[in-house]
Amino acid sequence: MNPSAKIFSGTASKYLAENIAAKFGVPLGQSITQKFSDGEIQPMFQESIRGDIVFLIQSTFSPADNILELLLMIDAAKRASAYKVIPVIPYYGYARQDRKDKPRVAIGSKLIANMLEAAGADRVITMDLHAAQIQGYFDIPVDHLESSSIFIPYIESLKLENLTFAAPDVGSANRIREIASYFEAEMVICDKHRKRANEIASMVVIGDVTNRDVVLIDDICDTGGTLVKSAALLKEKGARSVRALITHPVLSGKAYDNINNSVLEELVVCDTIPLKQESPKIKVLSVSDLFAVALRNAFENKSITSLFIHSQRRDK
């Protein structure tokens, strides 16, 4: 048996799925999601998928209907006798709930993993999880792509003279260290203390940024508070310029105002989540090429190692 590859999209990520399918080399599969008057949803495939490898593209950002729609699509594909069902989740929602950091709270990212497996997923392809160890919540293969393969060429194109990388918090240090090592550049850390979610009490810079062109890198920008405060502090400490590269533009609340009124030169994001509005300071880089290659390699049972930063080391 030689299964075919078919790519479908949930309603939230059709803009991205169309580009991925085009670069993969197949038309986007035909499906619809009916919505009843009480809000109940029912996805439906409009073509046969019997014996096929089915990729279902859907980022699970708010509202929660996006997660439920993906789960229902997985279930529908299994019941339609798909050979394999692979959810492709560019932005994996609830990833920030990766541990019990307070009494009597859920571990949301583990629950989402359980639901994806219970629905019938055979493997998962995702990108820049808030915590890499979330892969361990799954008992099926997880291909965890990194935005570094998109950001590195962009940073190189800027030709910054005194390049320094900054982690907006201690938790991002490992991610930044690897990219800084690639460029043989220095790195600093903005150590923050929170009073509560989305509210920073204090922040200090660990390292010297005097006359440096600083690039902040992180996986998520929510309200923009951390980025704005980090950028202002870095400028205060003598940075010549500060820009930020963020994978997932959640951008909730007053995020757009925060970014537009900040000292950031620019905020570069990926299209794992669609922007709610345009901004002169926000530039979007597409993940469609990266995911198209990852899907092709998964379909052909090939390695995806070439997509990672350690396979892109510059000649010394």
Distance CA 280, CA 294 (A): 31
Distance CA 74, CA 85 (A): 7
> Which residues make Cβ contacts (< 8 Å) with residue 217, sequence separation at least 6?
151, 165, 166, 167, 172, 175, 176, 179, 244, 245, 246
Residue/partner pairs of 28-35 with CB below 8 Å, 24 or more apart: 29/54, 31/73, 33/69
Query: Is 316 noted as a catalytic residue in this protein?
Result: no
Catalytic residue among 35, 78, 102, 192: 192
Active site residues: 192
